[in-house]
A = this chain, B = another copy of it.
Amino acid sequence: MNAYKRYERISVILKILTENPNKLFNLNYFMDLFNVAKSTASEDIDILKSILEKFGLGDIKTVAGAGGGIKYIPINNIDNFHEFMIDICRKLEDPKRIIPGGFLYTADIIYSPQYANKIGEILSYPFQEKDVDAVVTVETKGIPIAMMCARALNVPLVIIRQDNRVTEGSSVSINYVSGSQKQIKAMSLSRRSLERNSKVVLIDDFMKAGGTIKGMIELMNEFDAEVLGAGVMIATKEPEVKVVKNYFSIFTLVEMNEDKETIKMEISDWLMYNMHKNGNNS
């Protein structure tokens, strides 16, 4: 009866879903694609869901109702990323990463597509079930991980510029104080980049006192945007009191000593809590 075998249908559905994380597909789409009945398509999806579960490769969620369908959730269990994060944490402790001036070299990690993809997915985790309109970052280093986070959430990326080199029409600029360096800087965003009243997630690669995130929040206010939260890859332990509250990080930079050439990096409390919460020690 069916022109396509089950393993063919399942493979193609998987390819389409995983290439479009969080995008809703009506069941009719797959029924038409393979010329199969609703019951067959549903069965295919159920089988696929159990495969993904079994191998810790994400999840398929069903959204009920007329406008409903199915969508792929890339990170349903953060524990599946445990080993990866321990690995990155160790890599980040390499003393060769210390750059004079108290900077940490991370470009080899955050510009690696495979790593950036996983880091982006982890940063998307708290927002998987939320109604997000856009992921917002500020140039330059956070862009790759913010892009992958936007991909995992199936929403556009918005890039704030750090100067007035904006060639995207009229823009809104704000000044902000870089918390740790006490420097006054500017950031700008073109008017048409973000619709008013959008729900946004802020992403950056590194945070010390939180001045940049605070500036981003202020700029978002100018767009009447609602900030659902802020995620950074690395936050420093010091200063313990940050100028922003609603943020989480994947890693905590506990200490970096230029003279002794030592770096102490840890999995953040936020991540430890979420892994613990799932009660899985794998």
- What is A's interface to B at a CB cutoff of 8 Å? 6-8, 10-12, 14-15, 18-20, 23, 47-48, 51-52, 54-55, 57, 99-101, 103, 105, 107-108, 111-114, 116-117, 139-141, 143-144, 147-148, 150-151, 154-159, 161-162, 165, 167-169, 190, 192-193
Contacts and interface: CB of A to CB of B under 8 A. Distances in A.
A24 to B, nearest CB: 13
A12 B111 contact: no
Given A18-B19, A113-B147, 11 more contacts: A6-B7, A8-B51, A103-B167, A105-B169, A107-B190, A107-B193, A111-B147, A111-B158, A113-B156, A114-B151, A139-B140
Given A117-B151, A140-B140, A105 B192 contact: yes
This chain's copy number in the assembly = 2
A168 B114 contact: no
Contact of A14 (B11, B113, B167): B11
A192 B111 CA distance: 13
